[in-house]
């Protein structure tokens, strides 16, 4: 029987920092484990040495399978020095240490371990689908690729194993990335009055957006949308008045927010001196907590953890934004063993207890879904 803790350590030892990703060896390793357990395996590619993994077992015509999903890529290590080997998978003091331990190789290991354990019992049941993605950290490249090309099988429910400390989340905000462009008139830097400085326009727009009012757009659980100016660029040389400047906006949106109308509101807030263009967008995800399966999730989490959980929401986005519509719009829960505060941190770690709890939760969810 495969150990979720040992598997977490092994997955950490694959350097899948994105960019460049290099997820294929990790995906192939997991594919070998699942193939040996009786799963049907596919490895859709998104580029050189970059692969997703779709693993399927069981299946009936009466009920769609339950899906578990996670990504294998991790973020860069950052500038601060690590006190542990980032790709060592060291086990110490009840924690597995290393890049990706919480975000989210611990979650992937937990659902793969649960899947392998139950595989001999899944033939003739609604079945199980595992979707393990590449490129999540750079805009959900892998899941969006599979959705675009119709590669995702249908599912009746989806569990996303992102770090939630095993608290169930009923959804997350979407993302809306915009580029704003300000135009000016160039002139010699010694005679700025002869030109129109585009950097000043962009800077005024950035300050206006810092105070942007989202008070009427709030979601009861996900809260208000947010906007962050991630960069501002302008000018070619120091001794000229810049005739163009650009700023990048990271907007996190909630269900029901009209994106076209939001662009118009941003334009007005910026005084009409900046034009905005959509760079990328991903829908928010929300499942009604009163959905019968979501009630089942709450029951299972409570039984395993001994707590009385309530549904929350995530400010970040996940592969669910592509998987939910790509797999038939089933209910989705975000639920994984990683500590949310450890994601993208130096000396990242994940609790052994949380990983073991997650494996037990995932096992029970599969058992209940498949009627075992």
- CATH number of the domain within which 190 lies: 3.30.70.360
How far does Cα 263 stand from its chain's mean position?
A: 24
The verdict on 207 and 166 lying in the same domain is no
Cβ proximity of 271 and 208 under 8 Å: yes
**Looking at the predicted structure, is the pLDDT value of residue 1 above 90?**
no
Percent pLDDT > 90 in the chain is 96
Strands 95-97 and 128-133: unpaired
The verdict on 61 and 180 lying in the same domain is no
Give the domain-ending residue among 227, 248, 282: 282
Average pLDDT rounded to a whole number, residues 257-263:
96
Full residue range of the structural domain in which residue 253 is found: 174-282
The verdict on 110 and 158 lying in the same domain is yes
Residue 299 is predicted with a pLDDT of: 97
Question: Model confidence at 61, in pLDDT bands (50, 70, 90)?
Answer: confident
The verdict on 120 and 195 lying in the same domain is no
The verdict on 195 and 327 lying in the same domain is no
**Looking at the predicted structure, is the pLDDT value of residue 335 above 90?**
yes
**Exposed e or buried b per residue across 234-259, where buried means at least 16 C-beta atoms within 10 angstroms of its C-beta:** bbeeeebbbbbbbbebbbbbbeebee
Cβ proximity of 342 and 165 under 8 Å: no
Cβ proximity of 118 and 66 under 8 Å: no
CATH number at residue 317: 3.40.630.10
Average pLDDT rounded to a whole number, residues 115-121:
98
pLDDT tens track for 172-202: 999 999 999 999 999 999 999 999 999 999 9
For the chain, the average pLDDT equals 97
Average pLDDT rounded to a whole number, residues 47-52:
98
Q: Which helix (H) or strand (E) holds 328?
A: none
The verdict on 288 and 278 lying in the same domain is no
Question: Model confidence at 159, in pLDDT bands (50, 70, 90)?
Answer: very high
The verdict on 221 and 273 lying in the same domain is yes
Average pLDDT rounded to a whole number, residues 88-95:
97
Question: Model confidence at 316, in pLDDT bands (50, 70, 90)?
Answer: confident
The verdict on 129 and 162 lying in the same domain is yes
Give the domain-ending residue among 222, 254, 282: 282
The verdict on 202 and 316 lying in the same domain is no
The secondary structure of 139-165 as a DSSP string is TSHHHHHHHHTT-PPP-SEEEE--SST
Residue 281 is predicted with a pLDDT of: 87
Q: Within 13 A of 230's CA, how many CA atoms are on the CB side?
A: 12
CA distance 66 to 153: 11
Task: Please give the tally of structural domains in the chain.
Answer: 2
**Looking at the predicted structure, is the pLDDT value of residue 26 above 90?**
yes
The verdict on 185 and 37 lying in the same domain is no
CA distance 305 to 369: 20
Residue 211 is predicted with a pLDDT of: 94
Maximum alpha-carbon separation in the chain? 79
pLDDT tens track for 120-137: 999 999 999 999 999 999
The verdict on 160 and 215 lying in the same domain is no
Residue 186 is predicted with a pLDDT of: 98
Give the domain-ending residue among 282, 304, 327: 282
Residue 282 is predicted with a pLDDT of: 85
Average pLDDT rounded to a whole number, residues 79-103:
97
The verdict on 218 and 153 lying in the same domain is no
Residue 280 is predicted with a pLDDT of: 87
Cis before 192? omega within 30: no
């Amino acid at each position: 029987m495969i150990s979720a803790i040992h598997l977490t350590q092994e997955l950490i030892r694959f350097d899948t920092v994105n960019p460049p990703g290099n997820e294929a060896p990790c995906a192939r390793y997991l594919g070998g484990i699942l193939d040996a357990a009786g799963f049907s395996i596919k490895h859709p590619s998104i580029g050189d040495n970059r692969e997703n993994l779709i693993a399927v077992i069981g299946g009936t015509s009466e009920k769609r399978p339950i899906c578990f999903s996670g990504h294998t890529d991790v973020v860069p290590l950052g500038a601060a020095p690590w006190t542990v080997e980032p790709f060592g998978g060291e086990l110490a003091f009840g924690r597995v240490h290393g890049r990706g331990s919480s975000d989210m190789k611990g979650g992937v290991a937990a659902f793969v371990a649960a899947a392998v354990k139950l595989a001999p019992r899944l033939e003739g049941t609604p079945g199980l689908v595992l979707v393990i993605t590449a490129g999540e950290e750079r805009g959900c490249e892998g899941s969006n690729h599979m959705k675009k090309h119709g590669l995702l099988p249908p599912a009746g429910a989806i569990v996303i194993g992102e770090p939630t400390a095993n608290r169930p989340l009923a959804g997350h905000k979407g993302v809306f990335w915009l580029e704003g462009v300000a135009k000016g008139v160039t002139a010699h830097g010694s005679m700025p009055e002869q030109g129109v400085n585009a950097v000043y326009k962009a800077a005024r727009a950035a300050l206006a957006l810092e105070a942007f009012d989202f008070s009427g757009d709030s979601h009861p659980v996900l809260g208000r949308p947010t906007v962050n100016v991630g960069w501002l660029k302008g000018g070619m040389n120091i001794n000229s008045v810049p005739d163009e400047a650009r700023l990048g906006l990271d907007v996190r949106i909630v269900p029901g927010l009209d994106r076209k109308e939001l662009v118009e509101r941003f334009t007005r807030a910026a005084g009409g001196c900046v034009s905005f263009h959509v760079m990328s967008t991903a829908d928010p995800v929300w499942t009604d907590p009163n959905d019968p399966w979501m009630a089942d999730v709450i029951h299972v989490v409570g039984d395993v953890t001994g707590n009385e959980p309530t549904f929350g929401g995530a400010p970040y986005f996940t592969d669910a934004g592509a998987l939910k519509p790509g797999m038939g719009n089933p209910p989705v829960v975000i639920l994984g063993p990683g500590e949310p505060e450890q994601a993208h941190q130096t000396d990242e770690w994940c609790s052994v207890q949380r990983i073991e709890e997650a494996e037990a939760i995932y096992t029970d969810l599969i058992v209940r879904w498949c009627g075992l």
